[in-house]
Amino acid sequence: MKILEIEKIVEENEIIKSFYFTDESIAKAEPAQFVMLWIPHVVSGEIDFEVPDQIPMSVSSVERDQFSLTVRKYGKTTAELFKYKKGDVVGMTGPLGRGFTVSGSRVLCVAGGIGVAPLFLLVQKLQGRKIHFILGATTESELLLQEKLEELCTSLCITTDDGTCGKKGFACDPVEDLCEKYNIDQIYCCGPEIMMYKVCKMSVRQNIPSQFSLERYMYCGLGLCGHCAINGFLVCKDGPVFTAEELKDIKDFGVKKVDETGRKVDV
């Protein structure tokens, strides 16, 4: 584990912050590769066995040796991180897992919620190609990185569940039309699993290669404990990115996940 200092914090909106660090090897992360981020609870100064100190987090941008993690305030662990200031330190292991493979010349990125973070890094790597981006969020105030994406992408389509911005509905809704309109030859997707499941079905139907970044409850993150397994594949090691071709054999995709005990529960 490396100990890294927070060099900069950007408040993307009320509930999302980007934290910037410098590390040569993590800055080489492929999009959707992740780090195990250790938030050691020294800020609150209490021993609290109720709150996990470490969570997986995908890299959202890189520039030379600097990289960022874009974090949504969600549970107790991320709430702890939100108390951290410039100059505080955290621990990191990574980059881990298999990221997105860059391919295609007319690509469509489909992002739901904080799923935009790894896709934002992908967009940086895809520069020079036609990039069409669907950015979905529950409501306007949760839309993330909108201005930067407008700059970097050929087109940007916004959806919100409540219709407060862009089209009312989910990020998967415009996929079929946009694939046809822009003659898409590669789809990248990250967001809620039900949304990814729908995009996967569409991409198979239309015979367009596609890649998805999955999420499962993770303990070790290193391919050792096996807890994050989905039908024989380890999300932390074989994934988190899987192709639609691979997902054909992964019966639990879009259906079942495991909780922290290992019991199967609905996605």
Binding site for another protein (CB under 8 A): 1, 3, 36, 38, 40, 42, 49-55, 89, 91, 93, 218-227, 229, 231-232, 234, 237, 258-264
> 195, 201 in Cβ contact below 8 A?
no
* Comparison of 40 and 163: residue with beta carbon closer to another protein: 40
First and final C-alpha spacing in the chain: 31
Altogether, the residues listed in the chain come to a count of 267
* Comparison of 132 and 237: residue with beta carbon closer to another protein: 237
Provide the minimum distance between the beta carbon of 103 and another protein in the complex, in angstroms, as a whole number: 25
Provide the minimum distance between the beta carbon of 42 and another protein in the complex, in angstroms, as a whole number: 6
Q: Buried b / exposed e across 161-180, counting CB within 10 Å, b at 16+?
A: beeebbeeebbbbbbeebbe
Provide the minimum distance between the beta carbon of 212 and another protein in the complex, in angstroms, as a whole number: 19
Q: CA nearest 112: which of 147, 132, 139, 131?
A: 139
Residue 75 CB contacts under 8 Å (≥ 6 apart), including other chains: none
Torsions phi, psi for 21 (to 5 deg) = -140, 165
Residues 119 and 126: their CA atoms lie apart, in Å, by: 10
* Comparison of 156 and 234: residue with beta carbon closer to another protein: 234
Q: CA nearest 15: which of 140, 133, 124, 170?
A: 140
Provide the minimum distance between the beta carbon of 77 and another protein in the complex, in angstroms, as a whole number: 9
Provide the minimum distance between the beta carbon of 86 and another protein in the complex, in angstroms, as a whole number: 16
- Residue 30 DSSP code: P
Provide the minimum distance between the beta carbon of 229 and another protein in the complex, in angstroms, as a whole number: 4
* Comparison of 172 and 234: residue with beta carbon closer to another protein: 234
Side-chain half-sphere CA neighbours of 103 within 13 A: 11
Plot region of 97 (φ>0 → left; ψ -120 to 50 → alpha; else → beta):
left
* Comparison of 10 and 265: residue with beta carbon closer to another protein: 265
* Comparison of 49 and 128: residue with beta carbon closer to another protein: 49
